[in-house]
Amino acid sequence: MNPLRKFKEKIFIARLHAKDTHAYTEVYNTYMERIYRFIYFKVDTKHDAQDLTSEVFLRTWRYITEKNGKIENLNAFLYQVARNTVSDFFRKMSHTTQAIKDDTDGKTDEIIDTRQQEIFQRIDIGRDIETVENILRSLKGEYREVIILKYIEQMDDGEIAKIMERSKEAVRVLTHRALKKTREQFFTTKP
């Protein structure tokens, strides 16, 4: 990030810390669609994606205003809130599932894995295989995230590293693996 942009972002974050509603409106307008897309590929329905996106912006605003929380990197912060919001959502869902299934230990990962298996099955039997969207949904969590951030949101490795709390090198390796997996899925399912 060039120094001028960095400085501008610092001023902007200062405005947020001063609880400036106009600044937060700008945040909403700038990030809302990106956060929506990020969540959209993680959940089953549009409706859930919309609810969770709203939740992300409410949580962030409350963090700034009620907890007087400080933000270092706005972009990374919002995506982290989005990840946590989705995790909480699946955690809540897992409680419901636990009541029904005695043999599950209630972990979020298992729920997600089950969903992925279902999507894989759908791909195997040849339904809905054409869309890249379905393949993206079938990828495991971190692969999916890195593909969204790198190829849909066009972020550089540095930005992705901050969001995913990994080193740039780790992001590069992850991107390579994720892309390989996506490509395999795409070309094997494509007639």
Partner 1 sequence: MNENEFLKQLNTLRHITPSQHWKRESFAVLQNEMKKVSAAEKPAKGMLAIQTIRAFFSDLPFQIAPLAVLLLLFTAGGFVVLNTSQGSLPGNFLYPIKLNIERAQLAFVGNSAQRAELSIEFTKNRVQELDRLMLSKNSLTTDKNAEIVAQTIKQNIDRVKETVTRQKSGKDFHFMIALSLESTSTEIKETINKSKGILSEDVKNTLQEALDSAEETGLTALIKSIEILPSDDATTVTDPVDDTEQVDEALEILKTKIFELEQEQNTIETRLNAVADSITPEDRAAVEQISGVIDTLIAESKQALSESNYDKITENSKLIRELFNKIAKVLASYSQAEAQLTSETNTGAEQTDTNVDENSASEDVSGENTF
Find the binder of partner 1 among 71, 81, 136, 139 (CB under 8 A). Answer: 136
Number of residues that bind partner 1 (CB under 8 A): 45
Choose which of 106, 151, 166, 181 interacts with partner 1 (CB under 8 A). Answer: 151
How many angstroms separate the CA atoms of 135 and 128, rounded? 9
Q: Which two tokens stand for residue 129?
A: 């295989």
65 vs 97, which CB is nearer to partner 1? Answer: 65
Q: Is 26 helix (H, G, I), strand (E, B) or coil?
A: helix
Residue pair 149/142 in contact (Cβ under 8 Å)? The answer is no
Which residue from 126, 127, 147 is spatially nearest to 136, judged by alpha carbons? 147
Determine, following the binding rule CB under 8 A, whether residue 1 of this chain makes contact with partner 1. no
- Candidates 51, 1, 6, 58; CA nearest to 28 is 58
Nearer to partner 1, 27 or 161 (CB): 27
Concatenating the DSSP letter of every residue in 96-121 gives HHHHH-TT----HHHHHHHHHHHHHH
Question: Residue 181, interface with partner 1 (CB under 8 A)?
Answer: no
Contacting residue, 153, 166, 172, 189, with partner 1 by CB under 8 A? 153
Site for partner 1, residues 45 to 104, rule: CB under 8 A: 46, 49-50, 53-54, 57-58, 61-62, 65
Q: Which stretch binds partner 1 (CB under 8 A): 73-81, 91-99, 120-128, 144-152?
A: 144-152
Cα pseudo-dihedral 153, 31, 56, 16, rounded to 10 = 140
Cα separation, 131 vs 143, in Å, equals 17
19 touches partner 1 by CB under 8 A: yes
Instruction: Note the residues at the interface with partner 1 (CB under 8 A).
Output: 3, 6-7, 10-11, 13-15, 17-22, 24-25, 28, 32-33, 36-37, 40, 46, 49-50, 53-54, 57-58, 61-62, 65, 132-133, 136, 147-148, 151-154, 182-183, 186, 190
